[in-house]
Structure 1
Amino acid sequence: MTQPARLNGHATSAVVPVSAAPFAAKGVELDYTVVRQLHSRVTDKLSQLLTDSANVTAAYRREMAERLGREVIRDYAAGMAHAGRPVSPQEERALLEALVAGMFGAGRLQRLLDDPTITNVHILGCDQVLLHHADGTRSRGEPVADTDDELISMLQVLAMRVAATERQLSESNPELDMQLPDGSRMTVLYKVSPRPIVYLRKHSLFDASLEQLRDHWGMIDLLLYRFLTKALESGANIMIAGLAGSGKTTLLRALARTIPAGEPYITLEESRELGLHEPAGSNWVISLEALQGHGEYDTGGRRRGEKNLHDMMPITQRLGVRRVIVGETRGREIVPMLRAMTVSRGAMCTIHARQAREVMDSIVQLACSYGTDIGAEQALRMAAQGIDLIVYTAVVDERAIGGAEHRFVSHVVEVGGMRDGQVVTTTVFGPGPDGRAVPRHLPERIREDLLDVGYDLRELTAYIEAGPHNRGAWSRELHTRRVRR
């Protein structure tokens, strides 16, 4: 989503030196050997203090750790001053932040997560850190560990402490995909590459509402806002498609937040990403996540304790809810997603696709690749039966040529079942002069359902009749450098 104040500067793809990285320039350089020593002292003291304490809350444990951290750092600073090497207040603060991050956060990764100018991070080994910034530039970051082994140990501890379900990084489980407390995604590869690989993807619009996507970020206009909210209210099954980074998950979250707080629904994910069940107690979301499985393989070739989406789908149909939201369909979850849509109403999911017209092909390819019990024709029939709307999100990234990054909905396609072996579709919204979605045709399959929830189809008619002059209800122009023909 475009934010002119941040994204309209001149952007290049050059990698700048470490000293030019924003957080490195403003931060304090730390000796992490010292941090580890201080960390050990704090944990020892904390363990002694809490030995006889029962039912200690996480907040109390953190409060005690911070107090002990200040004491330990104060003693360390006094010793250094006595040795003629005084520690500045800024260094003391940085040491305390590093201690807290190591005990309750993401360790040396925490500074990257806290920096608002950083969007994504690629890490190759402990010392090759590539930072992707909001303005389109990239820079090299500071090492995140002293050795690769230390990096793996930090990630293993982080996985055990943060993951709500048991997830493990080891030689027998060399892949890790999980959500961090701030909503960022962390993917780790271990042993399958010469050095550990870590990818951090930060979600800057984790809590964005549909109104914010309309009024502030320009991802949808008023017509799309009304149509999509009424479609969801009517029980339409919606698949959101697009390229990576086009805003699919952001739009899915925003749509899901329009579901009334008192209505229970299920989120079903290979690895938890949507975060719709938080904050706890604010809604009735049943959040289910696949279990990785550990130990020996059983006779079926699966690890003991493994629970995938196929296993959990039957139970979702016995929990008394009508909506099932399946997180991004990247692989084997495509089949349970199709099954969910054929037996439920108001289901939603996301899928990768290069273009709106390629969504059905993507569904069939995934289903045939990962579903041993489903063929291409059956997958196509299930998709035509279960999906009501395909919403395609587009991204135009012109930061490399001095422009901005724009994300917007370009298509809303109604799926009308099968006819003569072909999937029948209606382009309800299609690309206007600047590529953003404008009304094209009235829906057919879900027309009666929309009328039942009070949607007035006549508000689309005037725009449809305008033909080439139809520019929808977008409140501001899309300023791109690309010349459209």
Structure 2
Amino acid sequence: MSTDRVDTTAGPDPSDLPLFATLPAQRPGRVRGSFSMNPTPTTSASTSHTNGHGSGHVNGHAGLVARPLPRPFVGELDWPLVAALRQQASDRLSAALGEDRTRTTSTDQRSRGRAIIVDLLEAEAAERIGAGVPTWSATEQDALVAAVDNALFGLGRLQPLVDDEMVENIIITGHDQVTLELSDGRLIPGPPVADSDAELIDFLVFLASRSEVNARPFSQAQPRLHLRLDGGARLAAAAWVTPRPSVVIRRHRLRRITLEDLVGLGTLTDVAASFLSAAVKARKSIVVAQGAGKTTLVRALCAEIPPHEAIGTFETEYELHLHELRDQHPIVFAWEARPGSGERGPDGSQAGEFTLSQALFDSFRFNLSRQIVGEVRGHEILAMLKAMESGAGSISTTHAPTAEGAIAKLVTCAMEAGPHVTHDYAVRAIAAAIDVVVHVHLETAPTSEGVWQRNRWVAEIITVAPGEKDKGYAIQHVFRTAPGEQAATPHVLDDSYRDLTRYGFDLQGFFAATRGPTS
């Protein structure tokens, strides 16, 4: 789309204004001066519209703000106008709700906000007509209503991308540097998501503070942001400590997924799927490692948990969403950590903080069959180990380049999480707690059309046990990928895992693939 606008005004360029700038206070009634994109000082003399910056009367009244002629609509959304209307709508909605905000549902709030937006746009259109400036068609006005609604209640200019069923990930390294990862793995350029980096940061600050349930701080003092968005997407952002504001939005397209589905997608083989299914049913504790695709595989593993089992999930931001799959998992208690704010108390925690360790401690009164700790990036390791030590069959994820590398990563996390945790203790605890590690490989390569495309597949499955004095643990590669291949094939099976046949493991298929004995 063209970004050119016909400028009939004098004064500062509206695009220089931040997206969520504080606007002048609104006078009682429908006062249009407060949505002006180019406000000019209030004068004591009478003013009138001449060429947009002359003096005279405004609507027949003296002493009001002299405002320039409105900008005509020239075929694209006027984002500064959207920003101003969002601020006006937010102020009016807050005033209308008053103390009833906490007792009003989000649906009702959005309905009332939509009515306010329509009212503001009708007033804007009436003023444009009165000033002899072209206004919008019905289609264009509907587009503006949707844009302001998204800015107030949704993700603003990001909302159409999040709503697009083809978009899997949104990768932003500046307001105009956007890459979209599609559901088929292709990476393509995306449209700008703001008019400036400052506007993008302002939007992220607003987004972080908007949630009444789980608001997150985002400022120069707190330059990183991890947020669960409406609809289940996950947002990670950083600013002030990066050259430009950086954002990644991960959409979880495959919530209802099974190992059989992943076999169909080429992520793993039938035999590997039968091994993992049996491991889950046999209550083996499993860690899934990689940078992308972990959560999808964990959901597929959880689909193998019998429906009668009570499950507890522990996450910094909800990503698994098992509690939303009631037909698949009837009994799920989902805990989400909450960051604190302000000064730390005597126990070292900030006001309002709720940690995964606290959630796990509380969960022991819930008669759980399994405790599933989501992604382990640091201190979450303590909750993961406690869950695995407290009961069999836990599942977690972490970032690591290989299956064995996941063990080293978790050892490092444990040593950083506890001041008295030694390397030897961390190795022993992890080797005793984890039974199986699955590594998902991510590869990005150009297609014949010159478009970069990502592919993921299960590259390794190892078993872990205490032992080997030098390492402190022993591993066995049950499945591994041969050089140049994209599928983990059977390799060596520890004798203790042969009894997984009771849970559906295709032992004959495993040994047939290795051309070894079947007993």
* TM-score tier (shorter): 0.7 to 0.9
Q: What residue number does 2:503 align with?
A: 453
SS across alignment from 2:134: coil
Structure 1 residues 333, 306: closer, same or farther in 2, change over 3 A?
same
Q: 1:350, CA displacement in angstroms?
A: 0.9
Q: 1:427, CA displacement in angstroms?
A: 1.9
1:252 matched to 2:298? The reply is: yes
Q: What residue number does 2:259 align with?
A: 210
Letter of the 1:376 partner, please give it: H
Q: 1:390, CA displacement in angstroms?
A: 0.8
Q: 1:236 aligns with which of 284, 290, 303?
A: 284
- Supply the distance in 2 between the matched residues of 1:466 and 1:162 (Cα, whole angstroms): 58
- Supply the distance in 2 between the matched residues of 1:301 and 1:212 (Cα, whole angstroms): 45
Q: What residue number does 1:482 align with?
A: none
Q: What residue number does 1:438 align with?
A: 489
Q: 1:32 aligns with which of 68, 72, 79?
A: 79
Q: What residue number does 1:98 align with?
A: 147
Q: 1:61 aligns with which of 109, 113, 129?
A: 109
Q: What residue number does 1:475 align with?
A: none
Structure 1 residues 192, 88: closer, same or farther in 2, change over 3 A?
same
Given that 2:278 and 2:501 are in contact with CA atoms closer than 8 Å, whether structure 1 keeps it comes out as no
1:340 matched to 2:387? The reply is: yes
Q: What residue number does 1:177 align with?
A: 226
- Supply the distance in 2 between the matched residues of 1:384 and 1:462 (Cα, whole angstroms): 30
Structure 2 spans left out of the alignment, 5+ residues: 4-73
Given that 1:81 and 1:87 are in contact with CA atoms closer than 8 Å, whether structure 2 keeps it comes out as no
Q: What residue number does 2:272 align with?
A: 224
Given that 1:136 and 1:399 are in contact with CA atoms closer than 8 Å, whether structure 2 keeps it comes out as no
- Supply the distance in 2 between the matched residues of 1:18 and 1:391 (Cα, whole angstroms): 48
Give deviations 1:303-329, integer Å, cap 9, x for gaps: 233333333333333321131111111
- Aligned pairs (5 A) from 1:104-123: 104-116=153-165, 118-123=167-172
Given that 1:414 and 1:445 are in contact with CA atoms closer than 8 Å, whether structure 2 keeps it comes out as no
Give deviations 1:196-232, integer Å, cap 9, x for gaps: 44332333434434332222x2212222222212211
Q: What residue number does 1:381 align with?
A: 428
Letter of the 1:62 partner, please give it: R
Q: 1:141 aligns with which of 191, 199, 206?
A: 191
- Supply the distance in 2 between the matched residues of 1:93 and 1:272 (Cα, whole angstroms): 33
Structure 1 residues 211, 93: closer, same or farther in 2, change over 3 A?
farther
SS across alignment from 1:232: helix
> Which deviates further from its counterpart, 36-45 or 184-193?
36-45
Given that 2:343 and 2:350 are in contact with CA atoms closer than 8 Å, whether structure 1 keeps it comes out as yes
Q: What residue number does 1:427 align with?
A: 477
Give deviations 1:334-357, integer Å, cap 9, x for gaps: 232123212211101111111223
Q: What residue number does 2:369 align with?
A: 322
Give deviations 1:438-471, integer Å, cap 9, x for gaps: 22233433444x244354533322222269xxxx
- Aligned pairs (5 A) from 1:254-269: 254-269=300-315
Given that 2:158 and 2:193 are in contact with CA atoms closer than 8 Å, whether structure 1 keeps it comes out as no
Given that 2:277 and 2:505 are in contact with CA atoms closer than 8 Å, whether structure 1 keeps it comes out as no
- Supply the distance in 2 between the matched residues of 1:275 and 1:18 (Cα, whole angstroms): 40
**Alignment RMSD:** 3.3
- Supply the distance in 1 between the matched residues of 2:400 and 2:250 (Cα, whole angstroms): 19
- Supply the distance in 1 between the matched residues of 2:326 and 2:215 (Cα, whole angstroms): 20
> Which deviates further from its counterpart, 95-104 or 418-427?
418-427
Given that 1:427 and 1:441 are in contact with CA atoms closer than 8 Å, whether structure 2 keeps it comes out as yes
- Supply the distance in 1 between the matched residues of 2:353 and 2:106 (Cα, whole angstroms): 29
- Supply the distance in 2 between the matched residues of 1:45 and 1:299 (Cα, whole angstroms): 41
- Supply the distance in 1 between the matched residues of 2:76 and 2:142 (Cα, whole angstroms): 12
- Supply the distance in 2 between the matched residues of 1:345 and 1:213 (Cα, whole angstroms): 25
Q: 1:94, CA displacement in angstroms?
A: 1.8
Letter of the 1:30 partner, please give it: L
1:272 matched to 2:322? The reply is: no
Given that 2:309 and 2:370 are in contact with CA atoms closer than 8 Å, whether structure 1 keeps it comes out as no
Structure 1 spans left out of the alignment, 5+ residues: 1-16, 20-26, 468-485
- Supply the distance in 2 between the matched residues of 1:18 and 1:238 (Cα, whole angstroms): 52
> Which deviates further from its counterpart, 388-397 or 261-270?
261-270
Q: What residue number does 1:477 align with?
A: none
Letter of the 2:189 partner, please give it: S
Given that 2:178 and 2:192 are in contact with CA atoms closer than 8 Å, whether structure 1 keeps it comes out as no
Give deviations 1:27-80, integer Å, cap 9, x for gaps: 963212322343355456656766797954322333343345345434534543
> Which deviates further from its counterpart, 415-424 or 90-99?
415-424
Q: 2:457 aligns with which of 389, 396, 408?
A: 408
Q: 1:367 aligns with which of 414, 423, 434?
A: 414
SS across alignment from 1:98: helix
Letter of the 2:259 partner, please give it: L
- Supply the distance in 1 between the matched residues of 2:394 and 2:213 (Cα, whole angstroms): 24
Q: What residue number does 1:3 align with?
A: none
- Supply the distance in 1 between the matched residues of 2:401 and 2:99 (Cα, whole angstroms): 58
Give deviations 1:388-431, integer Å, cap 9, x for gaps: 11111112221266474321112111113324454222222222
Given that 2:266 and 2:457 are in contact with CA atoms closer than 8 Å, whether structure 1 keeps it comes out as yes
Q: What residue number does 1:358 align with?
A: 405
Give deviations 1:104-155, integer Å, cap 9, x for gaps: 2122332332344544444456x4432234364453632525572x544432
Q: 1:285 aligns with which of 332, 337, 342?
A: 332
- Supply the distance in 2 between the matched residues of 1:278 and 1:197 (Cα, whole angstroms): 30
Q: What is the count of residue pairs matched by the alignment?
A: 438
Q: What residue number does 2:441 align with?
A: 394
- Supply the distance in 2 between the matched residues of 1:18 and 1:256 (Cα, whole angstroms): 48
Structure 1 residues 310, 374: closer, same or farther in 2, change over 3 A?
farther
Structure 1 residues 87, 326: closer, same or farther in 2, change over 3 A?
same
Q: What residue number does 1:476 align with?
A: none
> Which deviates further from its counterpart, 361-370 or 416-425?
416-425
Given that 2:294 and 2:397 are in contact with CA atoms closer than 8 Å, whether structure 1 keeps it comes out as yes
Given that 1:124 and 1:198 are in contact with CA atoms closer than 8 Å, whether structure 2 keeps it comes out as yes
Structure 1 residues 183, 418: closer, same or farther in 2, change over 3 A?
same
1:131 matched to 2:179? The reply is: yes
SS across alignment from 2:478: strand
- Supply the distance in 2 between the matched residues of 1:430 and 1:180 (Cα, whole angstroms): 36
Q: 1:372, CA displacement in angstroms?
A: 1.8
